[in-house]
Chains A and B, each alone.
Chain A
Amino acid sequence: DSGVTQTPKHLITATGQRVTLRCSPRSGDLSVYWYQQSLDQGLQFLIQYYNGEERAKGNILERFSAQQFPDLHSELNLSSLELGDSALYFCASSAPTATSQETQYFGPGTRLLVL
């Protein structure tokens, strides 16, 4: 158990819908990262937040957005869902500095299925 929690574990929804994935980082961690693992692709970095502020953006679609709240939990919002958004979404957190040199601890993931 990494100490990072993600909810829900599984989510089934329809095309065109909007969903919110939630992540709570390890106690004391200020950085949160979101990743997508699709069937036909490797692990893709989506976005990083540090202490409430966006730090880095990767392959995140405009239909997707994220935020980190004052209590440091983060939410990833996926809207106008398409079949291709079906994937495993991971959240990770790391120690309280702003760099990417720290170990990242991954949550168990949320498996999203868009029908």
Chain B
Amino acid sequence: ILNVEQSPQSLHVQEGDSTNFTCSFPSSNFYALHWYRWETAKSPEALFVMTLNGDEKKKGRISATLNTKEGYSYLYIKGSQPEDSATYLCAFVNDYKLSFGAGTTVTVRA
């Protein structure tokens, strides 16, 4: 299981502000990167599966970019809303195995 790091561990953002955070992963043998959103007392919900270098994906106000050569992905939240409060997990896929980061916990203050 490979080392996947997410930073920051947590962040607070004012409602209406935009924010972003990082997932770092090994740059060799890249296969795919998953992003999940995990709300307290619920199960992880898939946001994106990213497979190609330079990929950009968007779902509403949330978007993600991927750089496989340097081994990082950014998740952006535009105009944060209280319902965006959750832990965002990334998972690196290698040889069918998923290695999860510890997550970035986002708290949106009204």
Contact = CB atoms under 8 A, between A and B. Distances in A.
Contacts, number: 62
Interface residues of A, number: 25
Contact of B31 (A92, A100, A103): A100
Q: How large is the interface on B (under 10, 10 to 19, 20 to 34, 35 or more residues)?
A: 20 to 34
Nearest to B101: A42
Nearest to A98: B96
A103 B1 contact: no
Interface centre among A45, A59, A90, A102 (most CB of B within 10 A): A45
Interface of B: 1, 31-32, 34, 42-46, 49, 51, 89, 91, 93, 95-103
Given A100-B97, A101-B93, 15 more contacts: A42-B102, A43-B100, A44-B100, A45-B97, A56-B96, A58-B1, A90-B43, A101-B32, A102-B49, A106-B44, A106-B45, A106-B46, A108-B42, A108-B43, A109-B43
